[in-house]
Amino acid sequence: MNYNLLLENLTNPALLFFVLGIIAVYLKSDLEIPPNSSKFISLYLLFAIGFKGGQELSHEAFTAEIGWSMLFGIFISLSIPFYTFFILKRRMNVFDAGAIAAAYGSVSAVTFVTAVSYLESQQLILHGHMVAIMAIMESPAIIIGLLLISIFNNDEKEIIKKRTAIKHSFTNGSVLLILGSLVIGFLANAKQAEGIKPFTNDLFKGFLAIFLLDMGITSGRKLKAFFSFGWFPTIFAILIPLINGCIIAFLSKYVTLDITNRFMFAILAASASYIAVPAAMKISVPKANPGLFLPMALAVTFPINITVGMPIYFLIVQNT
């Protein structure tokens, strides 16, 4: 069963397009997705997931389980950057440790989107409240990362613009779009929503495949310089997400018994942000090296999660 799940995931067209992007870089091909097209596709994916989640949420009654699930999501987003910061600080400066900890405590919308596709391949449907939980989990990790840098930073010249960064973590385009789409999907009349269903549902997997091709090209370019930082960042970017995902896959049974929700919690805990966190850190912690935390999240953790991680987390939630 383990072998079949892994093989099924490795032959997913979206993942194969990601691999094609990496191969294209190493073959020195001129293949690329125009930046404007790439941005449109990423906005489309966030919009589609948010809107579909809102539609699902409109059919759900708010329960104590949903309330506890939201608190559990916030707990994950606060605890991961806290413990990872102290692991990272042993080998890195405070700025890099804080930025990487924030990235691993926050979530990756693209990993979430890919996980939704994985669930569909297992004939399972995402519950709408998990989209809201994903959006809620974006910001707490950024705030914790900034606070830890502030506490342990001995360089008085390096003042962190906390207020600007915290505001940015809530008004970040990806967070705002997915939350806004969630609310619109929730409020939209079911008959009216049917009119855009072909756009939000039927085109989704095709756009995801093209987006992952673009992610593969970006990852391939960043991997070259990344290996100059030594073995520690790579080992961290492989092991920590898998550990986080497996622990949360197991612990989530105390919050919800729904396999779909438990799997998505594991994915959220295992994923690392390479959109919201880099944007926030660029504003507030310019000393943090994007050449470290971006490739760790995008070029190492992301492919590990979508190849090896997802089948492992799914097996855990099925069997515990």
DSSP string, 28-97: T------HHHHHHHHHHHHHHHHHHHHHHHHTSPP-HHHHHHHHHHHHHHHHHHHHHHHHHTTTS-HHHH
Helix or strand run (H / E) with residue 176: helix 173-187
Query: What class does CATH assign to 35-319?
Result: mainly alpha
Q: Which contacts of 205-210 are long-range, i.e. CB under 8 A and separated by 24 or more positions?
A: 205/13, 205/14, 205/117, 207/41, 207/44, 207/45, 207/48, 208/14, 208/45, 208/113, 208/114, 208/117, 209/13, 209/14, 209/17, 210/17, 210/33, 210/41
Q: pTM, whole model, 2 decimals?
A: 0.76
Element (H, E) at 165: helix 162-171
> Are the beta carbons of 115 and 309 closer than 8 angstroms?
no
Provide the residue-wise pLDDT of the chain in tens; the chain has 320 residues. 445 555 666 677 777 888 898 899 889 899 988 888 888 887 888 788 778 778 877 877 788 898 899 899 999 999 999 999 999 999 998 999 999 999 999 888 888 888 988 888 888 988 888 888 887 887 788 888 888 888 887 765 555 555 665 666 566 666 677 778 878 888 888 788 788 878 877 788 788 888 878 878 877 887 766 777 889 999 999 999 999 999 999 999 999 999 999 999 999 999 998 777 776 777 677 788 877 887 888 888 988 998 889 999 999 999 88
